[in-house]
A and B are shown apart, each in its own frame.
Chain A
Amino acid sequence: MRSFIFLFCATVFAFSSNNVISQNVKVIIHENKEVSIDEVFDIIMDQTDITFIYKAGMFKDFPKVNLKKGSIRINNLLSQSLTLGDFNFNVKNENTIVIRKNSIPLSAQEFVVSGTIVDKNGIPIAGLSVYTTKNPTADNSNIIRGTTTDFDGKYNLSVSVGDFIVVTGIGYETRQTLVQDNKNIYDFILNDSINELDEVIVSTGYQTIPKERATGLFNTVPTREISNTVTQNIGSVLQGIAPGIQIVEDADGNIDISDVVIRGRGTIVSSSTPLVVVDGFPIDGGFDTINPNDIESVTILKDAAAASIWGARASNGVIVIVTKKGNRKGLNVEFNSFIKVRSKVNLDRNVTRASTATTLALESTIWDGPNSQGLNNFFIANYPPPSTLFDRDAVNRSGNTSYSLGARAYFDAFQGNITRAELATKINYLSGINSFDDVERYLLTNPISKQSNIAISSKGEKSNIRLSAVYNDNTNAFIGDENDQVLVNLTTQYNFNNWLSANINGMLDNSKSQNRGISLRTIQGMSPYENLINSDGSYASQRHNLYDAKYMEYFANTITNLPYNNINYNVLRDARENTFRTKNINYRINGGLNIKLMDGLELKPGLIYERFQSSSNNFWGPESSFVKYQVLNSTTQDDYDPVNATIGNSNIPPGAIFRDTQTERIGLTYRTTLNYSGSWDKHAVIAFAGYERASFKTNRSAEPYTYGFDPETYTYTVPLNRDSGTPLWAGFFDTGILNDGRFFDKSELRFASYFGNLAYTYDNKYTVSGSTRSDGANYIVEDKKQRYNPMWSVGFSWNAKNESFLQDVDAIRSLKFRVTNGENGNIVGTQSTTATIGLSSTPNPFTGVFSANLNSLGNPDLRWERVRTFNVGTDFNIFDSTLYGSVDVYNKKSFDLIATIDLPSTLGVSRGTFNVGEMVNKGVELNLSSNIKFSDNFNFITNVVYSHNNSEVTSLKDIQIFPRTIPDFPYIEGRPYQPIYAFEYGGLRTIDSQPEPYPTIVGQNGTIYGMDENIGQNGEDGREVLKYMGTRVAPTILGWNNTFTYKGFTLSTRFVGKFGHKFTRPTYDYSGLMQDGNHHEDLDILLAGGHEALGLPPFPQEFEQWQYRWSWYVPYLDSVVEDAAHIRLRQIYLGYDLPSDVTTKLGISKFRLFASAENLGNVWTANDYNIDPEYINGVVRAPEATFSLGVNVQF
């Protein structure tokens, strides 16, 4: 007998259009059971004042109905029970319903129609109710003739012209259409119902509970946002979609999970990484091993009641991901593919360096006149060109004598080594060069990303299976920077019998990446007039930041036994020579049993095993500067013979150098839970208890450097270690002792936990919940009695809609209030509790003895960090989904935070680690949506996600902060996380120490300081001197998401705005290092006298002794602190689904074409410089606008 299953949650369905029975009357099903239709009526008549009149035995041949415990609206119950038949309903008076078998035989006007019903992804939906109904306005009697769809989503139904065909089902919006003459096929595509706020199942990762009976806050990411985003990384969907989450995406679209912060950072030295839970188990590897195409749902848990069950690892929030399972009979195939392209790195936008003309103009002044910088400035060591090896000191003063091409030309002219005419020729040549030309030609590529994904799934009588494989292939912005990934996921479930089922899931990730050491920094470090390739095709000589090119040239030309012809420095050659590769092979297996012990009681043992292996290979080619300089420097000064111009033999042989490092992470978690769910009368209970053991091992090792490697013959040379003598060029690739490079490191963190959770609901209105958990670890706490960290939560929710006074208020579809409070721990890094030493692996070559360094004194009183979260919230849906969502207010207090604080050095150490910190994050989060239906074909959903978080470090042992260091302090008592302190610029003033008006700083203590001072030398604290200007972290984040659907078209847009924070605008730093050819682009304005507009001191035209001190202050002036508010257009997505009649003909169930544009920049920024505060010019590479095109096919 085929019976269809009722879930306790069902669709909103008016039994008939004139509301014979109020929509909202519910009955309670106390336990899962299979009942006859007669019993259904009994249940309704028992619990309501509705009376049914029908002929006894009328339903005796009807299939039984499976009822699940919980509550169900009676119109749902009736429609699901009766739509298989053919009935005439008649409402006699208010509450009496007469049901007759429809006596009218199938008339000639009636004909059979059929159709297929699929969801928006084209997957057929089984078990839907399809019925016909007459125009309901005629009278208050009605005919219902119905059926259900089969496993292929197909149905047949007898109808007459003028009837309505109505389709309704769990989790879908109801659709209806008028029966027309001559049309026999009526297909439907059902949209997911978003009107079911109070009937959604939410998952804590451990268990699923009806949202109606949850006390905690569950932010569920709408599935449409996942399917309407073109990405390789699920993390990129969350920004602006889930309130209170901060995600940083780099220019290549990578997201580092440790940068993801939920509800503000609440720890000082420990991790703030949220826990990522996939199919019930926390996983390693962040978002990288999750295939976005596999995701069924994403839920963010933030408050105590929702998250506390995850214990010590939950205080940073939990991201619960549930993957798709095989839930359709037969073979189902889904294929996805997209390609993303973006333009080359925009150098003008990303690189902030002064132009060739400006740089040369500055350099022309360095040695010009007796007051010039070059003759007076200690930072421009004024040494004549080298004439012996020992003059290397004259060319290496921490790079002070490493001149740019322009500065070198002017210096040579000043020294008389070249004539004025030669100088003019050189400068003329340089002034025609823009390094961007060569950079663009040789170092940049057009980034392109490709993804292909295939998923196969099937469902049988007892089992289901789903297998997916995705291939990502990315070419990034710089030459040779590539990565690819194959990610395979398998989920299976098998039901052995009615009390035992098992599931096994597996993940295999094979990915590799490589780069050639080029980054934005490489380009930022080049002078504007440097070529990469000379006109004759050879590699151009570029400035090296330590050794002057002229010295290198001199050295190469003078020494007769040099192993290289050319030792100049060139980033392109290095890029072509060097390769840095990383390979990852990761896999994960998790499995579990579900043993039904008795009705409502299940035992669920399970485990997850993960093994992540990563190996890196760093390869420096034989012609790279890294190799050349090491080889040359592995000879000693003692062996230098100035008379014969020879150097000694190199200890390091020429040839490539490479080194491998390996990391292996192995995680094993074993868990058993006992779950109970039951209800009786007006009481319902969900409870579970369990224990868990987990161990996480990490092994890291590095192989020794291999020197003199020949990739052709695979031969290498083991260099002799030099045990005495000074290297040829001290301080430069110093090979005083050859670095063997080996290291070994192993750690194993273990946790044991007990936990329990109970939620009790009375009358579907009031729920109280409580949870407790205790985590122990093999580190952190020295005292075994204190080893376990108790955590708890309590919660209460009131489902106001179920109160009698609201039941009939149709304007309010659902309304619930929640309050939770609880305490979690935070996982802390391994902090030693006893003194630890580091043993040397080899005896000291000079003393011949082994030594042990005192690494840490340890603190035996260290304990777990704690986080207490109080949350009040409401979930609502009013005016028929015109407005629905949730509002939450929270107070998250972190205390016992581990912080390293200053100690009196009398103790022998000046820093110590203690549980001394406290932070508070308070905030409000709104998640509001509106679903506006313009017509059957045209739907608009708009969603606003607003979060505001105020953080404050409430306690951190106060220390003296030296003024110049305060801008680097992320935690200062009484301030939010990442405060910005700035020196208030006082403009030019007459001060005692200077004859002329001089740039000044106005101290907040009232003192006027000249920029010639070392502020703080008189013991001032930074907080007395600098001005607090706000925080770097946006307190307010606003996401605005719109989805329009019109017929087969879907258009979605996403804006993310951030407000209330500040950033520091990089500018020219006045450091006095004028000879390095590398200046900020603001120099263009400064040389033109535009300093006032920039809020900066005037550019010193002549030598100014204290100018280097200006550079201590200028980057931190209040005038360069800018409002960071901005609104970003993150993406526009356009999808088109072929109509189902077309797809049916093609033999497929869904065909979608989509296009997307991402990283479209800011539509508004508060600062006047057009700087994107999240990708500050010259600091962080900004993603270029990206365009994607793709297809999704299912059959």
Chain B
Amino acid sequence: MKNIYLIVLAIIFSGCSSNDEFLDKEPEVNSNIEITRVEDLDKLFNSFGMPTIDNQVGYWCTDNSSMPQSILDESSTFRQDQINQYLFQTQIDRDSDRTWSSFYNYILRANLVSDYINSGELIDSDNPDLKDILIAESHFYRAYLYFEMAIIYNLYPSEANANELGMVLRKTSSLTENQSRATLQETFDFILEELEAALKYPSDTKRSIYRINKATINALAARIHLYLGNYEKAMEHANAALAGNSQMINYATEVYELGFTFWYGDFVYPNVAQQAPFGGTSIADFYVDKYYYINYTNGSWNTSPSQELLDLYDEDDIRNLFYIEGWFSRYGATTDTWYYYMNSYVGYNPAGPGVPEMYLTRAESKARNNDIAGAMADVEMVRSNRFHPEDYVALPIPGSAKEAVEIIIDERRREDPFEYRFMDIKRLNNDPLTDPIILTRSANGESVSIQPDDRKYARPIGDEILILSDGATEQNRY
């Protein structure tokens, strides 16, 4: 009986041994893990791949698009939210704002990377530069994404608009961070700060095709400074970007008609229509002139150009191939089957800064600095790659800076019709040199005319974001 009490005591005391230790065991071992290494964050950036962001504003709120009434009558291809954007309405019929949510999702992941590195708790990488690379890269994403969002949701950042509403500046990954909107001044100050920090990126090589290098950041800087009217800086960064990559794609040899009817009916397709964005390198393989790969999508297969845009092209321009004739017959249109703009996969557009954009940015900066011949040389760098040699004729040298800038803007429209036209309209409407751009359009019996200073150039934020923020995030005031 004596021994039994020892056993009993042992049993009882074994229950008092450290349960904390027992419970510290990780509950799961699978591919779902906590972030513990700097390398994990590197992989997190790899997972960005080629981001795809729904951007109805970029597609519809410019003079490059149109919604022919006969197609509206005969088909339902244009969604209500697209019509709302087209008409610059301030109430958009949509269940959620996918533009806002996609941008902020990438911002969250960039913030997560900087939060984890700043926590100092991660296991270091063998690569001593990796932390600096990741930090600079996260600054790049914030600069890029906030800038692109500010174009969509904010007014032009003129002095007069300094105290207008800017973006909600999420700087950390915390779910409890303030969701009220900064002023426009604060927003652009932040974008420029982030840009400066990103420019410290230590390497000229990309960690993979979809990642960034110094040239990428310079290309972004050129775009941002062009928007802000800092033409000298824009040129400086465009030069730096071109120093990193100035490879142009020669459409005369690279772009041609497909020899067979492709996926979506009896249409004539350019070979670029095969560039699917799903995980493949095909877009990157083809568009080697991009500093950064990001897609804008309109969510539908209905990117419909305006007659004004179609008229901008010379009939020999190879880029005409990107306009698929008769496309809207797919949707039941019979009166006017119209055109469809297809640059890669249906509904998608590679929208990151590229070499042609840098040439045209530099051209514009030169033109505004009265280096008209230099400007036109840059324009011809683009044009000479857009015609078959037998069709190519250089443009005459214009007589004035204004004329030169107008030619450059037209070339920008031809080259990247749905990527930064909305940005260009907003900046040009604040530019004393060029003529104001007044957009007029009508659909389903409603006609609108958008003046250069129209507050509707700051497009509305999705209602659900305002509601779910419990009032913290405000709508634009119209």
* Chain A residues packing against B (C-beta within 8 Å): 378, 390, 393, 499-500, 595, 597, 603, 605, 672, 674, 690-691, 693, 695, 724, 730, 743-752, 754, 776-779, 784, 787, 830, 832, 834-841, 844, 846-857, 859, 902-910, 912, 959-960, 962, 1014, 1016-1019
Is there an interface contact between A393 and B263, defined as CB atoms closer than 8 Å?
A: yes
The reply to whether the CB of B300 lies closer than 8 angstroms to some CB of chain A is: no
Is there an interface contact between B105 and A750, defined as CB atoms closer than 8 Å?
A: no
Minimal Cβ-Cβ distance residue in A for B281: A846
Interface residues of B in 353-389 (CB under 8 A from A): none
Residue in contact with B4 in the complex, picked from A595, A851, A859, CB distance below 8 Å:
A595
Minimal Cβ-Cβ distance residue in A for B331: A378
Is there an interface contact between A909 and B35, defined as CB atoms closer than 8 Å?
A: no
- Chain B neighbourhood of A744, CB < 8 A: 30
Minimal Cβ-Cβ distance residue in A for B1: A499
Minimal Cβ-Cβ distance residue in B for A1108: B76
Is there an interface contact between B175 and A907, defined as CB atoms closer than 8 Å?
A: yes
Question: What 12 new A-B contacts, CB under 8 Å, besides A836-B33, A904-B472?
Answer: A674-B12, A747-B29, A748-B26, A749-B27, A830-B27, A836-B32, A837-B33, A850-B46, A904-B468, A905-B462, A910-B101, A1017-B93
Is there an interface contact between A906 and B170, defined as CB atoms closer than 8 Å?
A: yes
Contacts A603-B8, A837-B44 given: A906-B179 contact, CB under 8 Å?
yes
Q: List 15 A-B pairs, Cβ < 8 Å.
A: A745-B29, A776-B19, A776-B23, A778-B23, A778-B27, A830-B28, A837-B34, A838-B32, A839-B40, A839-B43, A850-B46, A851-B44, A852-B40, A857-B108, A904-B466
Q: CA–CA, A173 to B265, complex, Å?
A: 85
Minimal Cβ-Cβ distance residue in B for A603: B8
Interface residues of B in 72-117 (CB under 8 A from A): 80, 93, 95-97, 100-101, 104-105, 107-109, 111-112
- Chain A neighbourhood of B478, CB < 8 A: none
The reply to whether the CB of B25 lies closer than 8 angstroms to some CB of chain A is: yes
The reply to whether the CB of B126 lies closer than 8 angstroms to some CB of chain A is: no
Residue in contact with A850 in the complex, picked from B43, B260, B468, CB distance below 8 Å:
B43
Q: CA–CA, A944 to B465, complex, Å?
A: 53
The reply to whether the CB of B467 lies closer than 8 angstroms to some CB of chain A is: yes
Residue in contact with A906 in the complex, picked from B30, B264, B469, CB distance below 8 Å:
B469
Q: CA–CA, A724 to B278, complex, Å?
A: 12
Is there an interface contact between B265 and A393, defined as CB atoms closer than 8 Å?
A: yes
Interface residues of B in 204-253 (CB under 8 A from A): 207-210
Contacts A779-B27, A784-B20, A912-B175 given: A834-B34 contact, CB under 8 Å?
yes
Q: CA–CA, A400 to B468, complex, Å?
A: 39
Is there an interface contact between B19 and A693, defined as CB atoms closer than 8 Å?
A: yes
- Chain B neighbourhood of A852, CB < 8 A: 40, 43-44, 46-47
Q: CA–CA, A1091 to B37, complex, Å?
A: 65
Q: CA–CA, A907 to B179, complex, Å?
A: 8
B36 CB to nearest chain A CB (Å) = 10
Contacts A605-B11, A847-B209 given: A835-B173 contact, CB under 8 Å?
yes
- Chain A neighbourhood of B27, CB < 8 A: 747-750, 778-779, 830
Residue in contact with A908 in the complex, picked from B12, B34, B173, B469, CB distance below 8 Å:
B173
- Chain A neighbourhood of B111, CB < 8 A: 908
Is there an interface contact between A910 and B96, defined as CB atoms closer than 8 Å?
A: yes
A448 CB to nearest chain B CB (Å) = 42
Is there an interface contact between B104 and A962, defined as CB atoms closer than 8 Å?
A: no
A1024 CB to nearest chain B CB (Å) = 15
- Chain A neighbourhood of B24, CB < 8 A: 778
Is there an interface contact between B25 and A905, defined as CB atoms closer than 8 Å?
A: no
A910 CB to nearest chain B CB (Å) = 6
Minimal Cβ-Cβ distance residue in B for A855: B32
- Chain A neighbourhood of B170, CB < 8 A: 906-908
Q: CA–CA, A839 to B105, complex, Å?
A: 19
Residue in contact with A1016 in the complex, picked from B1, B19, B95, B281, CB distance below 8 Å:
B95
* Chain B residues packing against A (C-beta within 8 Å): 1, 4, 7-8, 11-12, 14-15, 19-20, 22-35, 40, 43-44, 46-47, 49, 80, 93, 95-97, 100-101, 104-105, 107-109, 111-112, 168, 170, 173, 175, 177, 179, 207-210, 260-265, 279-281, 331-332, 462-469, 472-473
Contacts A846-B279, A847-B210 given: A857-B175 contact, CB under 8 Å?
yes
Minimal Cβ-Cβ distance residue in A for B111: A908
Which residue of A500, A834, A844, A912 has the most chain B CB atoms within 10 A of its CB atom?
A844
Residue in contact with B32 in the complex, picked from A784, A837, A902, CB distance below 8 Å:
A837
B213 CB to nearest chain A CB (Å) = 15
- Chain B neighbourhood of A1019, CB < 8 A: 93, 463
B175 CB to nearest chain A CB (Å) = 5
- Chain A neighbourhood of B23, CB < 8 A: 750-752, 776-778, 787
A372 CB to nearest chain B CB (Å) = 15
Contacts A846-B279, A847-B281, A1019-B463 given: A750-B22 contact, CB under 8 Å?
yes
B443 CB to nearest chain A CB (Å) = 16
Minimal Cβ-Cβ distance residue in A for B98: A905
Is there an interface contact between A902 and B15, defined as CB atoms closer than 8 Å?
A: no
B78 CB to nearest chain A CB (Å) = 13
- Chain A neighbourhood of B463, CB < 8 A: 960, 1019
Is there an interface contact between A750 and B107, defined as CB atoms closer than 8 Å?
A: no
Q: CA–CA, A834 to B36, complex, Å?
A: 11
B73 CB to nearest chain A CB (Å) = 11
- Chain B neighbourhood of A750, CB < 8 A: 22-23, 25, 27
- Chain A neighbourhood of B80, CB < 8 A: 1014, 1017
Minimal Cβ-Cβ distance residue in B for A853: B47
Minimal Cβ-Cβ distance residue in B for A1109: B76
B174 CB to nearest chain A CB (Å) = 9
Is there an interface contact between A835 and B34, defined as CB atoms closer than 8 Å?
A: yes
Residue in contact with B12 in the complex, picked from A672, A693, A730, A849, CB distance below 8 Å:
A672
- Chain A neighbourhood of B47, CB < 8 A: 851-854
Q: CA–CA, A56 to B107, complex, Å?
A: 98
- Chain A neighbourhood of B29, CB < 8 A: 745-748
Q: CA–CA, A1014 to B95, complex, Å?
A: 12
Contacts A672-B12, A839-B31 given: A854-B44 contact, CB under 8 Å?
yes
Q: CA–CA, A959 to B265, complex, Å?
A: 41
B203 CB to nearest chain A CB (Å) = 15
Minimal Cβ-Cβ distance residue in B for A903: B468
Is there an interface contact between B28 and A908, defined as CB atoms closer than 8 Å?
A: no
Nearest 10 interchain pairs by C-beta: A908-B108, A905-B101, A852-B43, A851-B46, A779-B27, A851-B47, A691-B15, A752-B19, A904-B468, A745-B30
A1179 CB to nearest chain B CB (Å) = 28
Q: CA–CA, A852 to B112, complex, Å?
A: 13
Is there an interface contact between B28 and A904, defined as CB atoms closer than 8 Å?
A: no
- Chain A neighbourhood of B465, CB < 8 A: 904-906
- Chain B neighbourhood of A751, CB < 8 A: 23
Contacts A787-B23, A903-B175, A1019-B93 given: A908-B105 contact, CB under 8 Å?
yes
Is there an interface contact between B208 and A905, defined as CB atoms closer than 8 Å?
A: no
Q: CA–CA, A1114 to B281, complex, Å?
A: 45
Q: CA–CA, A912 to B105, complex, Å?
A: 13
A1152 CB to nearest chain B CB (Å) = 45
Is there an interface contact between B280 and A846, defined as CB atoms closer than 8 Å?
A: yes
Q: CA–CA, A844 to B472, complex, Å?
A: 40
- Chain A neighbourhood of B31, CB < 8 A: 743, 745, 838-839, 841
- Chain A neighbourhood of B1, CB < 8 A: 499
B230 CB to nearest chain A CB (Å) = 29
Residue in contact with A909 in the complex, picked from B105, B177, B467, CB distance below 8 Å:
B105
Contacts A835-B112, A1014-B80 given: A907-B11 contact, CB under 8 Å?
no
Q: CA–CA, A157 to B8, complex, Å?
A: 49
Minimal Cβ-Cβ distance residue in B for A700: B30
- Chain A neighbourhood of B8, CB < 8 A: 595, 597, 603
Q: CA–CA, A45 to B424, complex, Å?
A: 109
Is there an interface contact between B210 and A854, defined as CB atoms closer than 8 Å?
A: no
Contacts A776-B19, A847-B208 given: A906-B168 contact, CB under 8 Å?
yes
A904 CB to nearest chain B CB (Å) = 4
Q: CA–CA, A962 to B96, complex, Å?
A: 10
- Chain B neighbourhood of A838, CB < 8 A: 31-33
- Chain B neighbourhood of A597, CB < 8 A: 8
- Chain B neighbourhood of A743, CB < 8 A: 31
